[in-house]
Amino acid sequence: MTNNIIIFDTTLRDGEQSPGASLDINEKVSIARQLALLNVDVIEAGFPVSSPGDFESVSRIAREVRGVSVAGLARAVEKDIDSAARALEKAEKPRIHVFLATSEIHRKYKLLKAKEEIIHLAVKGVKHALKYVDDVEFSPEDASRTELDFLIQVVEAVIEAGARTVNIPDTVGYAVPDHYASIIRGLKENVKNIGKAVISVHCHNDLGLAVANSLAAVKAGAQQVECTINGIGERAGNAALEEIVMALKTRRDFYHCSTRIATKELIATSRLVSTLSGLRVQRNKAIVGENAFAHQSGVHQDGVLKERTTYEIMKPEDVGLQKTRIVLGKLSGRHAFKERIKELGYELSEEEFERAFEEFKHIADKKKEVFDEDIEAIVGVEKMDVPDIFHLESLSISCGPDAVPTAGVRLKLQDGRVVNNATIGDGPIDALFKAIDLSTGIPGKLQDYNIRAVTGGKDAMGEVSVNVEVNGKTVRGRAVSTDIIEASAKAYLNAINKVTAK
């Protein structure tokens, strides 16, 4: 039997508390609409009493977003609850979320109240909220550091008062999975009226355990998980919604749970929240990070190309991506490179492929990622099918405002001989081409010289094309490299090789 886990999204309330994140009313409404498309069960839209802006955003979301419960947060005091009720008046399914700290450290230093007073205020807050709505949630703040026997008393009292959902927050991210699961089991076993309410969990990520704690709680019997898109939130953030949802979906065999989430909207939702909040998603973030479905290792690429499940436990399409991304770099192998060439529409002979692959490896050693445009440039050069009569082994350039431009080249000839020469010129490129002329014994006259960046970025490949006149005939040469001086030398040699071959 599979249980449905309620997904309570608090991106617009706890998520906005993330340092550096601030959303205006229109941005909050846009995110709320996307959350409704994502099919979350509850949207915690804000803390209405905290500011006029938060009140208005909760009010607008309550009016404009349909098909989902909209919650407003309130302390266990009447003015907070009254404010939340007014903001939620037009909601299709309003929920008031009342909270009050219960741990000893909060009672002693923040609230200055005894246990009896805490229970009295909690019950009073729930009952006051019930005057406005049928759906009331109560959170004993810092529950994971609250004495279990007292937590049992509080939970039992608020359920008796009418709370439909009781949330057990790990407010400061103190819990670890076994400890947190034992709290949930303790409540399930000892709260007499526990069957009358949904047990929820809300975990913070101070120790990097928010998702692990939430999943441990689900395994122990929790029925609602409170989380945020991209895991944003106070301090180190909250449990990430996308990680919770995909863990339950991927490991349904273990958790025997499901959610209503439309997982194909996860990427779109993540990107919207990231864009509007200004909080970038780290590349290696699970599920929605740029690298989550990307492979660069040649071994992994070979496996994925043969059978996706060798190295992927989820389908990229399930979270809203079009396909797996094969990242071509210095660790990539022949299989991935050959597949990308085919995807780009090129057919190479075995000899052409080997030359292209050798050049690809040379380029990949110099830049982090080799893009499709880079590959097209490499293949375009190799498709020219020019014999490598003169091969550039190395070069050196010396130039500057107060220096005489000097270039040296080391060429390997087809018969195995090596030639070294150096010359001066009007500039580094002029000196370079003169050194090549001296080494090949074939004087050329440069007629045209063009250079362009193949891709963007500081490590972009440069494509150089030259027109060289040799013995009254004009020959075109072309080459690519991340080093434009090297590309220039190779392009010039490409032209000379064409002349020599003829």
pLDDT tens digits, one per residue of 201-231: 999 999 999 999 999 999 999 999 999 999 9
CA dist., res. 302 & res. 332, Å (int): 9
- The answer on pLDDT for 9 being more than 50 is yes
Residue 238: name the closest of 204, 281, 282 by CA: 204
| 119 domain-assigned | yes
Over residues 75-91, the pLDDT tens digits come to: 999 999 999 999 999 99
Number of domains the chain is built from? 3
Q: What is the pTM of this model?
A: 0.76
378 and 397 together in one domain: no
Q: What is the percent of the chain where pLDDT is above 70?
A: 98
352 and 413 together in one domain: no
- What one-character DSSP code corresponds to residue 77? S
What would the mean pLDDT of 467-481 be, rounded to a whole number?
Answer: 84
324 and 472 together in one domain: no
Provide the pLDDT confidence category of residue 245 given band limits of 50, 70 and 90.
Answer: very high
CA dist., res. 139 & res. 337, Å (int): 54
pLDDT of residue 222: 98
Specify the pairing of strand 445-453 against strand 462-470.
antiparallel
What would the mean pLDDT of 304-329 be, rounded to a whole number?
Answer: 85
Handedness of CA 4, 45, 78, 239 (dihedral sign): positive
93 and 74 together in one domain: yes
The residue segments making up the domain with residue 229 are 3-277
| 287 domain-assigned | no
143 and 263 together in one domain: yes
Final residue of a structural domain among 227, 242, 277: 277
| 300 domain-assigned | yes
Specify the pairing of strand 136-141 against strand 93-101.
parallel
Final residue of a structural domain among 330, 358, 382: 382
Largest CA distance in the chain: 103
- The answer on pLDDT for 1 being more than 60 is no
Lookup: tokens for 209: 């355990």
State the DSSP string of 310-366. GT-SS-GGGGT-SS-EE--STT--HHHHHHHHHHTT----HHHHHHHHHHHHHHHTT
CATH of the domain at 261: 3.20.20.70
Number of neighbouring beta carbons within 10 Å of residue 360: 25
Final residue of a structural domain among 361, 382, 403: 382
403 and 337 together in one domain: no
Lookup: tokens for 199: 């047990």
- Between 452 and 266, whose confidence is greater? 266
Residue 28: name the closest of 8, 55, 49 by CA: 55
What would the mean pLDDT of 121-131 be, rounded to a whole number?
Answer: 98
What would the mean pLDDT of 232-250 be, rounded to a whole number?
Answer: 97
What would the mean pLDDT of 108-120 be, rounded to a whole number?
Answer: 95
Give kind and range of the element (H or E) at residue 61.
helix 52-64
91 and 213 together in one domain: yes
